[in-house]
Structure 1
Amino acid sequence: MYFNGIYHLFYQYNPKGAVWGNIVWAHSVSKDMINWEPLDPAIYPSKPFDIKGCWSGSATVLPGNRPVILYTGIDPEERQVQNYAIPANISDPYLREWIKPDNNPIVVPTGDINSSAFRDPTTAWWSGGHWKIIVGGRRNGKKRGMADLYRSRDFVHWVKAKHPLHSNKDTGMWECPDFYPVSLFGTKGLDISVNGQNVKHVLKVSLDHTRYEYYTIGSYNLALDRYFPDNTSADGCDGLRYDYGNFYASKTFYDPVKKRRVLWGWANESDSQPEDINKGWAGIQAIPRKLWLDPSGKQLVQWPIEELDSLRGQRVENNNVKLNKGDHVEVKGITAAQADVEVSFSFRSLDNAEEFDPSWVNAEHLCGQKGSNVQGGVGPFGLLALASAKLEEFTPVFFRIFKAPNKHVVLLCSDARSSSLGQHLYKPSFAGFVDVDLADKKLSLRSLIDHSVVESFGAGGKTCITSRVYPTLAVLGNAHLYLFNNGSETVTVDNLNAWSMNRPRIN
């Protein structure tokens, strides 16, 4: 949340080790969301209503500039209950201390609610004379995912609505739900309580059984207090995702300073638990992203917040670079292990694009089948990030274009299978399709490379992929960055800008 000139980030944290357990609400503050100062934990188990755990939730700034935290506590009966906390000293700009009033919990599992699947209350919105939140869940004995709706006039006494805001069969537990408005026009964000003409709503859920997140765009019916997804994308496991890689338990908030909606996502590790213990930490926050509705109205677009540019150092630029089949061209002059790369590609013709098989509905499987070394027509072309000098290790981020009867299909891959010689790693071929018009025969890519993470944005942020990778050779000064093309169609790098990235202040 943003409060009195300060951005506050609260996050699930184990102060006793690099494994899950002993969870508290860690607390860091920043003036730009890039440079952070950690404070003491804001919330930790201390009362009967949270003595067995302080799990995820949200912050709401109430009228009168009064921040309130809602969070899930685990009580002595192992029930998941919803609690609130308020600042001990509202005049402290860092809000270091939080009080948990004794009238907690304020929401308990009743009726058919599964008390072991009832968590992660959202930021509250105001409509129809009530504050409203949703809590993620799963219907008792069934696989139906739930966004149960609660209403309150005073933010303390909450009543469960007869119907959920939304639910869906066969999706399992809905974790970390998020519900917010987006404008039909422009890139500015909206406060959580805005509704009406020229507004759509987004419902995002993190599916526990897939460990991926899915969202739909639709309409919020105030009279019924129900959310209805548009039929422009699947509502469920085959639906749209913020990120087609290692990205989970995300949360957005409205930034009133720059009038934008900002998305935070968590990228967990892809190595083993003993390796996490050895290095002493596990899990990172992805770079915060500005988020808005694509002009088509069918999907969201994301882009790293502009403050990230403040870390840019040494810059190199390459223009009009021809990449023929089999070419690998090194991008020199930057720190390839910690870089920000923006590149625009073009191609003369799409005639050589491979035929698209309609059975290729799973982008990740398709990327695994047609990796960066499998020759194609138009593509694969893109970047080889975190590459060793002799390419024993590399993380390719690339496009591949296919020809379907009435359109072209664009695939974006971030393939970790060749990323490391290390053992016991999860090395998937992450991928997503890109809904983009190729009339101008151009595609753009931005990749943020930071030692163990490659965060990529295809076609201006229409499709995003975060990969966790752990090279053993391509580390620090031994990391390289290449442009490549393994397609028969020549690809031109119209423009490439790459920057060495400086370190932010973390503590």
Structure 2
Amino acid sequence: MSELLDKAREYESKKEKTIAEELRPLFHLIPRCGWMNDPNGFSFYNGKYHMFYQYNPYKTEWGPMHWGHAVSEDLLTWDYLPAAIAPDEEYDTDGCFSGSAIEMEDGKQMLVYTGVRREEDEDGNWHDIQTQCIAFGDGKDYVKYKNNPVIKSESLPEGAGKYDFRDPKIWKENGMYHIVVGNKTADGDGQILQYSSEDGINWNYEKVVIKNNNRFGAMWECPDYFNLDGKQVLMASPQDMLPEELEFHNGNGTICVIGTLGKEGIFSEENCQAIDYGIDFYAPQTILTKDGRRIMIGWLQNWDTCGIRRDDFPWFGQMSFPREIAIRAGRLLQKPISEIVNYYGKRISRKSVLITDSCSLSSIEGRCVDMTVKVKSTGANLSYKKFEIKFADNGKAYSKIAFNPEESIVKIDRKHSGSRRAVVHQRRCRVSDNKGEITLRLILDRYSMELFINDGEQVMSMGIYTDIRAEGISFKAFGELLMDVTMHELKR
């Protein structure tokens, strides 16, 4: 074990003892201490789910990228393990960037990651040299392969850029190992490349899976590629996107490209949509569980919103709630993982409540809840112009969800949540036109809100850092409507 990794492990084991339990979410994985970004190595190994993550243990800011490590038996209760890898070799001295993990035939777990080394060119410009590297371990301790990197820029196809080449996602199929890797072409456009290997060590370039063709941003980061419900799905996180109506927003986003595999494995696109329509979601990875469910977890943060933070927090960054995903009618469907029912506490339900103004309901409150709200007009015609839910409310600070049935638009808003920075605080998305009927399911977990609309047709996520004693929840109708609400307290 290297001196750098020893230092990180010693630091995190001491630092975590200083973090009060109430400063951690109940179910959303945060770093053991310091900074977290992309999920890495999401996998099942030795009877447990493993999640690694981009990690700077020393500060709540992006820094020298290590891999943090946690394990879980149900994807909701996590236990920290020591940091897995540190930037301690010449080829990754400037960071162990994102990647994935898989169990090998010999029983070892292999980590596949991007090693980064900064290099000055002849004109005095600095560039990140990004190569693909591997390490082998037993689920706790890992040793980097002596002949790293295993994929260098020399293997890139014609037209590929040699500097932006990162985030390998690995899988095994028909006895062969495969990875997809994000790449920016020499002329600044995104593409996803595929490599194959018989042993997971010696890799050969196969093909371009998909080209951006200047549609969605530039560099495509953190790809995932899998079959789901008879469709082939590619997920990626483009940088520098331009907005398209309410489907895609500016900056760093996420896309889900749904299609089929034709002759010779050619990917044919059929639909492209956003994965999350909210403020904070990036770089998702998926896993296939033993019982056949495809589960997705992303970084519940965004590079464009890192300005909203609590200066008194000993951590920054959290993972999303695990989501079961499916393809229905050619679109992505997402629901909170079903294991959530094992953490249900008190249940409160109200049926056919007539809402004509602002109101609160007895016992409907809290910051760790699973709450489903269904609203509809009181008659055949639309009887209201807007519906709002306020939450994390203490009379001064609050966050809000608003639904405009005339335009079929849902908006999330955290500008009054206590933030002192004018970063992104609102997002909108267009939903199905159901004549004023809508189902809104909120997962609140201390410092986040994830909204599942109409049984998961769309999801909107955001971090909130309001004091956790702000537990008020209220409802408001502009006009009149009928509301059903069911809330389960979440307990661990």
1:275 and 1:212 map into 2 onto residues whose CA distance is 20
Whether 1:386 and 2:416 are equivalent positions in the alignment is no
Q: Which residue of 1 aligns with 2:409?
A: 411
Whether 1:134 and 2:180 are equivalent positions in the alignment is yes
Q: Secondary structure at the match of 2:405?
A: strand
Q: Which residue of 2 aligns with 1:116?
A: 163
Whether 1:202 and 2:191 are equivalent positions in the alignment is no
1:317 corresponds to which of 349, 353, 358: 349
Q: Given that residues 412 and 463 in structure 1 are in contact (C-alpha distance below 8 angstroms), is that contact kept between their aligned partners in structure 2?
A: no
2:381 and 2:472 map into 1 onto residues whose CA distance is 33
Whether 1:212 and 2:287 are equivalent positions in the alignment is no
Q: Secondary structure at the match of 1:417?
A: coil
Deviation at 1:226, TM superposition (A): 2.5
1:130 and 1:213 map into 2 onto residues whose CA distance is 28
Task: Spell out, residue by residue over 1:425-444, the C-alpha distance to the aligned partner (whole angstroms, 9 max, x if none).
Answer: 424221222246x27x6321
Q: Which residue of 2 aligns with 1:395?
A: 399
Q: Which residue of 1 aligns with 2:317?
A: 283
Larger deviation, residues 209-218 vs 110-119: 110-119
Task: Spell out, residue by residue over 1:110-162, the C-alpha distance to the aligned partner (whole angstroms, 9 max, x if none).
Answer: 354323210000122425x64321100110133x211011122222111112x
Q: Which amino acid aligns with 2:86?
A: Y
1:321 and 1:386 map into 2 onto residues whose CA distance is 22
Whether 1:500 and 2:492 are equivalent positions in the alignment is no
1:251 and 1:302 map into 2 onto residues whose CA distance is 14
1:66 and 1:34 map into 2 onto residues whose CA distance is 25
Deviation at 1:24, TM superposition (A): 0.6
Q: Given that residues 65 and 94 in structure 2 are in contact (C-alpha distance below 8 angstroms), is that contact kept between their aligned partners in structure 1?
A: no
Larger deviation, residues 203-212 vs 242-251: 242-251
Instruction: Map residues 227-238 of structure 1 onto 2, 5 A cutoff.
Output: 227-230=267-270, 233=271, 235=272
Q: Which residue of 2 aligns with 1:173?
A: 219
Q: Secondary structure at the match of 1:154?
A: coil
Whether 1:336 and 2:366 are equivalent positions in the alignment is yes
Instruction: Map residues 7-18 of structure 1 onto 2, 5 A cutoff.
Output: 7-18=49-60
1:44 and 1:378 map into 2 onto residues whose CA distance is 56
Instruction: Map residues 67-466 of structure 1 onto 2, 5 A cutoff.
Output: 67-75=109-117, 77=119, 78-87=128-137, 89=138, 95-110=139-154, 111-127=158-174, 130-142=176-188, 144-161=189-206, 163-170=207-214, 171-183=217-229, 199-209=230-240, 210-221=251-262, 223-230=263-270, 233=271, 235=272, 239-256=273-290, 258-268=291-301, 275-276=309-310, 278-294=312-328, 296=329, 298-324=330-356, 327-349=357-379, 351-352=381-382, 378-389=384-395, 392-402=396-406, 410-420=408-418, 422-435=419-432, 438=434, 442-466=437-461
Task: Spell out, residue by residue over 1:31-65, the C-alpha distance to the aligned partner (whole angstroms, 9 max, x if none).
Answer: 11111111111111222222221010111234565
Q: Which amino acid aligns with 2:427?
A: F
1:200 and 1:450 map into 2 onto residues whose CA distance is 33
TM-score (norm 1): 0.78
1:224 and 1:378 map into 2 onto residues whose CA distance is 54
Deviation at 1:477, TM superposition (A): 3.7
Q: Which amino acid aligns with 2:147?
A: N
2:305 and 2:219 map into 1 onto residues whose CA distance is 25
Task: Spell out, residue by residue over 1:372-420, the C-alpha distance to the aligned partner (whole angstroms, 9 max, x if none).
Answer: xxxxx6442142111233xx43322132223xxxxxx622221223333
> How many residues were matched structurally?
426
Whether 1:19 and 2:17 are equivalent positions in the alignment is no
Q: Secondary structure at the match of 2:92?
A: coil
Larger deviation, residues 152-161 vs 33-42: 152-161
Deviation at 1:228, TM superposition (A): 1.4
Label 1:228 to 1:349 Cα distance change in 2 as closer, same or farther (>3 A). farther
Label 1:333 to 1:276 Cα distance change in 2 as closer, same or farther (>3 A). closer
2:380 and 2:93 map into 1 onto residues whose CA distance is 61
2:416 and 2:368 map into 1 onto residues whose CA distance is 19
Label 1:8 to 1:160 Cα distance change in 2 as closer, same or farther (>3 A). same
1:348 and 1:220 map into 2 onto residues whose CA distance is 47
Q: Secondary structure at the match of 1:224?
A: helix
Q: Secondary structure at the match of 1:122?
A: strand
Q: Secondary structure at the match of 1:79?
A: strand
Q: Secondary structure at the match of 1:202?
A: strand
Q: Which residue of 2 aligns with 1:479?
A: 471
Task: Spell out, residue by residue over 1:311-357, the C-alpha distance to the aligned partner (whole angstroms, 9 max, x if none).
Answer: 32222211110112xx12213325522222112222245744xxxxx
Label 1:457 to 1:274 Cα distance change in 2 as closer, same or farther (>3 A). closer
Unpaired segments of 5 or more residues in structure 2? 1-42, 120-127, 241-250
Q: Which residue of 2 aligns with 1:194?
A: none
Q: Which residue of 1 aligns with 2:8?
A: none
Q: Given that residues 308 and 421 in structure 2 are in contact (C-alpha distance below 8 angstroms), is that contact kept between their aligned partners in structure 1?
A: no
Label 1:412 to 1:63 Cα distance change in 2 as closer, same or farther (>3 A). farther
TM-score (norm 2): 0.81
Deviation at 1:102, TM superposition (A): 0.8
Label 1:379 to 1:394 Cα distance change in 2 as closer, same or farther (>3 A). farther
2:111 and 2:378 map into 1 onto residues whose CA distance is 54
2:358 and 2:306 map into 1 onto residues whose CA distance is 32
Q: Which amino acid aligns with 2:97?
A: W
1:59 and 1:491 map into 2 onto residues whose CA distance is 49
Q: Given that residues 180 and 193 in structure 2 are in contact (C-alpha distance below 8 angstroms), is that contact kept between their aligned partners in structure 1?
A: yes
Q: Which amino acid aligns with 1:480?
A: G
Q: Given that residues 430 and 467 in structure 1 are in contact (C-alpha distance below 8 angstroms), is that contact kept between their aligned partners in structure 2?
A: no
